[in-house]
């Protein structure tokens, strides 16, 4: 018996070795792909990284994606949405760059705290070690101490996947990014030969006057990269026009890469066309060739063909108003916009989003003029009092006119305040947040500052004067849904877990009074102390959630709330 088990283990191990040999992977060691950018920012490194991860998955490889940001903030948690866009929250409670949302949406791999790091976090760690005496009195320098800390970060989880894709924020030549570029240069030399490759995104501008694509900015960007010791293996060239063979050969010659490794990146009708477009341009094959993985498994792109078909061939359309306070920058609500697109794909409709500034309603009671033409209204999260009266009026309009309504985080709290004021008779209902901001008491706080909650088996405590960064209720928490409620029907179950990011909470002390008025508390924390979901049972579709469901939605797996919210909007559109 023992002999047979030993033989089985030996056979299984041999099969594993054969699989790794076939795919070219090294046993217990990830291959690293470093993605850098040049010429200008916002070329789409995050999207290219996410699409490449999806293509490698389609070939049967496991992947993990990471973001290294040069800014000195420890994380984006305290940054203004106008400054940085949305903050993407992971299951383990990390506040990260919005590119991690792209990574999750394209690969389905849940991001972790170890998948996002900034210069601020690196320097904080180094300085904490210095204060503890970990460096034994040595002089602390960027090289080797800061670069070693970055390399330690890169090594985390390197034994768990076939490919580790690491995106470096900013552009080559940025002074704050130099420690990261030096670290990945060292990292590639520390690893066995052929274990790391570099992919560089550049811009090929088109001069209409001469009718030419200009390759010089790309050449200069690559030279800048080479001057710090990094030679790109693959060039991804962003262009509005097809790249002629002559220009492709020129880029390959002057940038010292193979012609097959010059990959075009064109503007697309939808970001969800990116995996198919990059595959057509040979990006995944160029990566496998750079690693000398041959023969490589053929990709199964059926999921992405279905995604592309759904997003490009809708059978109808719905109009949804997002009534928010950061509407001047769409990236502030990036995941919400994408989750609505996913809901549209599930229902075979195009979702037309219109951004409505909540402050417009602060100054006017004429809500109907702005919102009458929409089949659904979504009120997202936010911080501070600005625009909240407008959000309350939007919730009232949706309730009274039977328009499908989804309130997220602050959007749920405003729906509760609206119900308290206009239905339950608590005329001065408001949030402690607004009183704290103004410095005087004006409201009866049906929403209060959350001071204690349970996380796992531990109790977490917070005070109003605590530091802002990382002190909210962050990450995935369980919730229990009321049997027979609308949300239980939407989810198809009564036990869920969702990601949170908030420090104010609806006060359970007002539950009885609000439920007598008709508002149902249909989702609660497992201990029954924190309201997670409210709904109006007599409304066609009115749900407010304290968490952020948009963070878990994917094109091939739309979130149930967004899928059903768009379905409800679709039903309204048929009645018009």
Instruction: Report whether 268 belongs to an annotated binding site.
Output: yes
Q: What share of residues in the chain are helix, strand, coil (percent, to 5)?
A: 45, 20, 35
Residue 354 CA to residue 374 CA, distance in Å, equals: 9
Instruction: Report whether 554 belongs to an annotated binding site.
Output: no
Instruction: Report whether 503 belongs to an annotated binding site.
Output: yes
Q: What is the 3-state secondary structure (H, E, C) of 199-268?
A: EEEEECCEECCCCEECCHHHHHHHHHHHHCCCCCCEEEEEECCCCCHHHHHHHHHHHCCCHHHEEEEECC
Instruction: Report whether 433 belongs to an annotated binding site.
Output: yes
Q: Decide if 359 is catalytic.
A: no
Q: Decide if 409 is catalytic.
A: yes
* Token representation of residue 247: 């220009």
Instruction: Report whether 65 belongs to an annotated binding site.
Output: no
Which stretch of DSSP H or E encloses residue 559? none
What backbone torsions phi and psi does residue 305 show, to the nearest 5 degrees? -65, -40
Catalytic residue among 409, 418, 502, 505: 409
Instruction: Report whether 165 belongs to an annotated binding site.
Output: no
Strand 95-96 to 88-89 pairing: antiparallel
Instruction: Report whether 217 belongs to an annotated binding site.
Output: yes
Instruction: Report whether 399 belongs to an annotated binding site.
Output: no
Which stretch of DSSP H or E encloses residue 505? strand 504-506
Instruction: Report whether 3 belongs to an annotated binding site.
Output: no
Catalytic residue among 342, 500, 548, 559: 548
Minimal CA–CA distance to 385: which of 334, 447, 330?
447
Instruction: Report whether 215 belongs to an annotated binding site.
Output: yes
Instruction: Report whether 42 belongs to an annotated binding site.
Output: yes
Catalytic residue among 182, 247, 498, 550: 550
CB 371 within 8 A of CB 420: no
Please state, as a whole number, how many other Cβ atoms lie within 10 Å of the Cβ of residue 73. Answer: 17
Instruction: Report whether 474 belongs to an annotated binding site.
Output: no
Instruction: Report whether 413 belongs to an annotated binding site.
Output: yes
Instruction: Report whether 410 belongs to an annotated binding site.
Output: yes
CB 104 within 8 A of CB 338: no
Instruction: Report whether 528 belongs to an annotated binding site.
Output: no
Q: Decide if 83 is catalytic.
A: no
CB 404 within 8 A of CB 542: yes
State the burial class of residue 7 (Cβ atoms within 10 Å of its Cβ: 0-12, 13-18, 19+): exposed
Cα 75 to chain centroid distance, Å, stands at: 14
Minimal CA–CA distance to 66: which of 167, 177, 163?
167
Instruction: Report whether 41 belongs to an annotated binding site.
Output: yes
Instruction: Report whether 57 belongs to an annotated binding site.
Output: no
CB 90 within 8 A of CB 337: no
Instruction: Report whether 167 belongs to an annotated binding site.
Output: yes
Instruction: Report whether 411 belongs to an annotated binding site.
Output: yes
Instruction: Report whether 371 belongs to an annotated binding site.
Output: no
Numbered residues of the known binding site for ATP: 42-47, 99, 268
Residue list, annotated binding site for CTP: 41, 174-176, 214-219, 250
Residues annotated in the binding site, as ranges? 41-47, 99, 167, 174-176, 214-219, 250, 268, 382, 410-413, 433, 503
- Numbered residues of the known binding site for Mg(2+): 99, 167
- Summarize the annotated binding site for UTP as residue ranges: 41, 214-219, 250
> Could you list the active site residues?
409, 548, 550
Point out the annotated binding site for L-glutamine.
382, 410-413, 433, 503
């Amino acid at each position: 018996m023992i002999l047979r088990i030993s033989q089985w283990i030996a056979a299984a191990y041999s099969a594993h070795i054969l699989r790794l040999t076939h795919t070219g992977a090294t046993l217990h060691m990830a291959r690293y792909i470093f993605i850098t950018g040049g010429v200008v920012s916002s070329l789409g490194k995050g999207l290219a990284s996410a699409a490449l991860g999806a293509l490698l998955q389609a070939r049967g490889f496991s992947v993990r994606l990471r973001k290294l940001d040069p800014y000195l903030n420890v994380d984006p948690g305290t940054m203004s949405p106008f400054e940085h866009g949305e903050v993407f929250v992971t299951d383990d409670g990390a506040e990260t760059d919005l590119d991690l949302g792209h990574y999750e949406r394209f690969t389905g791999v849940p991001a972790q705290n170890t998948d996002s790091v900034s210069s601020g976090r690196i320097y904080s760690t180094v300085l904490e070690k210095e204060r503890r005496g970990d460096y034994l009195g040595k002089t602390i320098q960027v090289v080797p101490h800061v670069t070693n800390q970055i390399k330690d970060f890169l090594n985390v989880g390197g034994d768990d996947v076939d490919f580790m894709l690491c995106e470096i924020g900013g552009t080559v030549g940025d002074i704050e990014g130099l420690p990261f570029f030096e670290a990945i240069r060292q990292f590639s030399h520390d690893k066995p030969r052929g274990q790391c490759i570099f992919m560089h995104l550049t811009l090929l501008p088109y001069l209409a006057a001469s009718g030419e694509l200009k390759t010089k900015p790309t050449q200069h960007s690559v030279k800048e990269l080479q001057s710090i010791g990094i030679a790109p293996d693959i060039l991804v060239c962003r262009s509005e026009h097809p790249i002629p063979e002559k220009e492709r050969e020129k880029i390959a010659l002057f940038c010292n890469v193979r012609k097959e490794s010059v990959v075009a990146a064109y503007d697309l009708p939808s970001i969800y066309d990116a995996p198919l477009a990059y595959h057509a341009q040979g990006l995944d094959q160029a990566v496998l060739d750079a690693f000398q993985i041959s023969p490589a498994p053929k990709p199964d792109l059926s999921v992405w063909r279905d995604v592309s078909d759904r997003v490009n061939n809708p059978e109808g359309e719905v109009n949804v108003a997002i009534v928010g306070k950061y509407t001047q920058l769409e990236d502030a609500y990036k995941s919400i916009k994408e989750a609505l697109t996913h809901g549209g794909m599930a229902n075979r409709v195009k979702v037309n989003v219109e951004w409505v500034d909540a402050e417009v309603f602060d100054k006017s009671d004429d809500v109907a003029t702005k919102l009458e033409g929409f089949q659904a209204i979504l009120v997202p999260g936010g911080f501070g009092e600005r625009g909240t009266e407008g959000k309350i009026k939007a919730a009232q309009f949706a309730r009274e006119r039977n328009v499908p309504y989804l309130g997220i985080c602050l959007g749920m709290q405003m729906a509760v305040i609206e119900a308290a004021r206009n239905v339950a008779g608590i005329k001065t209902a408001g949030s402690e947040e607004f009183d704290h901001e103004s410095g005087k008491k004006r409201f009866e706080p049906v929403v209060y500052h959350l001071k204690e909650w349970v996380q796992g088996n531990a109790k977490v405590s917070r005070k109003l004067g605590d530091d802002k960064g990382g002190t909210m209720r962050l990450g995935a928490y369980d919730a229990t849904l009321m049997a027979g409620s609308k949300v239980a029907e939407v989810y198809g179950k009564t036990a869920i877990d969702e990601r949170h990011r908030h420090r104010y909470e609806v006060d359970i002390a007002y539950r009885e009074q609000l439920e007598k008025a008709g508002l149902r508390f249909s989702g609660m924390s497992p201990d029954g102390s924190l309201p997670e979901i409210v709904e109006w049972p007599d409304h066609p579709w009115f749900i407010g959630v304290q968490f952020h469901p948009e963070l878990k939605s994917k094109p091939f797996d739309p979130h149930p709330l967004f899928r059903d919210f768009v379905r409800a909007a679709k039903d309204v559109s048929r009645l018009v």
